[in-house]
Structure 1
Amino acid sequence: MNEIVQPGIRRFGRINWMGLYTLAEREVRRFLVVWTQTILAPLATAALFLLIFTIAVGPQRGDVMGVDFLTFIAPGILMMTVIQNAFANTSSSILVAKVQGNIVDTLMPPLSGSELVIGYLVGGMVRGLIVALAIAIGVWLTLGITPQHPVLVLGFVLLGSAFMGGVGIVTGIFADKFDQMAAITNFVVTPLAFLSGTFYSIDALPPVLRQVTHANPIFYLIDGVRFGMIGASDSSPGLGLVICAIATVAISVVAWGMLRSGYRLKA
């Protein structure tokens, strides 16, 4: 017998589980439909990075933190790809809905601001996790690297995906056109990913730049995954988890406030 839903009864307990699940499922299906662009393409890009550095640098670079250069940069490339894709998933979802005029389909259902944030973040986190798994398998097959602390790697990947997914939500809400989002991607997200210890140890930086890098949450994400993969890092993984967790909560609160108020979403 079908359940009769009475008017006004919209959620089970305090959370609209059905609505939350539906939004999260939509966000996951949205990138799985075009998996060649959202999963295969990042894997190919990561492989190209490793190939180029193998050809251009190879063993001539010497060891970094007691490991060869390719082993050192592989975790950084993995995490850099994860955060870029988590950001792209949430930001593009919201911006496309705004441009096409169907963002109302997301705002009208009985979903609270926190449920909207969680639903969008689940999509970004699942995409980040799949990309991380694909690259990790590729790194294992080509370089023979297996995570020394897999639980720590998983924790940083999920935190990084959630943090950049939250940044993507804020960006998608703020941007009104694709070129605005492209500007944020090209001039903010990509430089931060490249200049956060992905290809080098921050010990090589001047003291001032080293202090600036320590204020960047993405540095701790990349450094934490590197420790989890190869057991070497520039900072304490515990400190990195705390800073990344605080940054994730902070950006999620900002995203919650914007979604709850309908900022730049309601005509």
Structure 2
Amino acid sequence: MVELQKRYKIGVRQFGKINYVGLVALWIRECSRFFIVWAQTLLSPLVSSLLFLSVLTLALGNDRGDVLGYSFVTFLAPGLIVQSMILQSFSHSVSSFMISKMQGNIVDVLYAPLSAFEVSLAVIMAAVTRSILIGFISVLVFIFIVELPLKNIFFIFYSGFFGSFFIGSLGFITGLWATKFDHTATVTNFILQPLSFLSGVFYTIDRLPEFFQSISLINPFFHIINIFRYGFLGKSDGDLYFGIIYLPILAIVGWAISYYLYKIGYKIKS
């Protein structure tokens, strides 16, 4: 049997070190999933952000002073945009595995000539693609509602990409681990939502007690939002350079864990 496998290359990948065709095909399939229901996946996050902006603006009125030298609404807008982006990145990755598990078609990916590197990268990059599209659409709409300056597009893209990649990796890991949607809701409600709401979306961290300020400095969401907001306002609420180094490290570590867990077949192979 071994001789036959060697002779006819049965079970041997013949695509080189990386199956680029398969990687791109899986990325396109993952992107197609959210394009089919674009109103739910691309427009719904925008509506949620606009509702937050409207409610807070109406509730506070003109009583809220300037923040970082800008009006509160201008300060708030970038945080709402990137918060929506990264949460939807998580949603895409986790739903990719959960739906495949529920429908029983996860074997299509497991039996495909795709390595753990290719599968993990394709799924996470699809999550990043969805996130970037949401950000682009949101910015286009927000600039007609809020006086939103644009200081440095590099920092906007940098934060959006690495932030979405890292959170997309967390979604990938959660999708492998979870066996029902209640598990994914637990991660969202008890980990992601608290981290995102306590990350400086609605305030500057100097308003927090010193202990919580220290916690915020290691909160990935804070650095994602801080760098993203800096790209618009040119003002930072924390150590910008630490965040610039911190986010790529988190993204690489998140992907490495995703790659390893998929490679060993964690909860997807018997």
Deviation at 1:8, TM superposition (A): 6.0
Measured against aligned partners, the alpha-carbon deviations of 1:64-118 in whole angstroms (never above 9, x if no partner) come to: 1111111111111011000100000000011111122111111111111111111
Q: Is the 8 A contact 1:166 1:252 kept in 2?
A: yes
Gaps of 5+ in 2: 1-8
| Corresponding residue of 1:199 | 202
Measured against aligned partners, the alpha-carbon deviations of 1:116-137 in whole angstroms (never above 9, x if no partner) come to: 1110011101100000001111
Deviation at 1:200, TM superposition (A): 0.5
Q: Map of 1:205-224 to 2, 5 A cutoff?
A: 205-224=208-227
Deviation at 1:247, TM superposition (A): 0.7
Deviation at 1:9, TM superposition (A): 6.5
- Normalised by the size of structure 2, how large is the TM-score? 0.94
Q: Is the 8 A contact 2:116 2:259 kept in 1?
A: yes
Distance 1:110 1:12 in 2: 9
Deviation at 1:51, TM superposition (A): 0.6
| Corresponding residue of 1:135 | 138
| Corresponding residue of 2:49 | 46
Alignment of 1:154 with 2:154, yes or no, is no
Distance 2:65 2:106 in 1: 52
Deviation at 1:193, TM superposition (A): 0.8
Measured against aligned partners, the alpha-carbon deviations of 1:231-251 in whole angstroms (never above 9, x if no partner) come to: 111123332121011111111
Deviation at 1:13, TM superposition (A): 2.8
What is the aligned length?
A: 263
Distance 2:158 2:27 in 1: 20
Distance 1:208 1:231 in 2: 27
Distance 2:131 2:20 in 1: 23
Alignment of 1:249 with 2:249, yes or no, is no
Equivalent residue letter for 1:67: Y
| Corresponding residue of 1:95 | 98
Deviation at 1:7, TM superposition (A): 6.2
Gaps of 5+ in 1: 1-5
Tell me the secondary structure at the aligned position of residue 232 of structure 2.
helix
| Corresponding residue of 2:116 | 113
| Corresponding residue of 1:178 | 181
Q: Percent identity?
A: 36
CA RMSD, Structure 1 to Structure 2 (Å): 1.5
| Corresponding residue of 1:190 | 193
Equivalent residue letter for 1:82: M
Equivalent residue letter for 1:12: F
State the 4+ residue runs in structure 1 displaced beyond 4 angstroms.
Answer: 6-9
Alignment of 1:24 with 2:30, yes or no, is no
| Corresponding residue of 1:3 | none
- Normalised by the size of structure 1, how large is the TM-score? 0.95
Q: Is the 8 A contact 2:74 2:147 kept in 1?
A: no
Q: Is the 8 A contact 1:173 1:263 kept in 2?
A: yes
Alignment of 1:85 with 2:81, yes or no, is no
Q: Is the 8 A contact 1:59 1:68 kept in 2?
A: no
Measured against aligned partners, the alpha-carbon deviations of 1:146-196 in whole angstroms (never above 9, x if no partner) come to: 321011101110111101100000000110001111111111111111111
| Corresponding residue of 1:163 | 166
Q: Is the 8 A contact 1:27 1:122 kept in 2?
A: no
Equivalent residue letter for 1:39: L
Q: Is the 8 A contact 1:11 1:17 kept in 2?
A: no
Equivalent residue letter for 2:223: Y
Measured against aligned partners, the alpha-carbon deviations of 1:200-249 in whole angstroms (never above 9, x if no partner) come to: 00011111100011111111000000101111111233321210111111
Tell me the secondary structure at the aligned position of residue 63 of structure 1.
coil
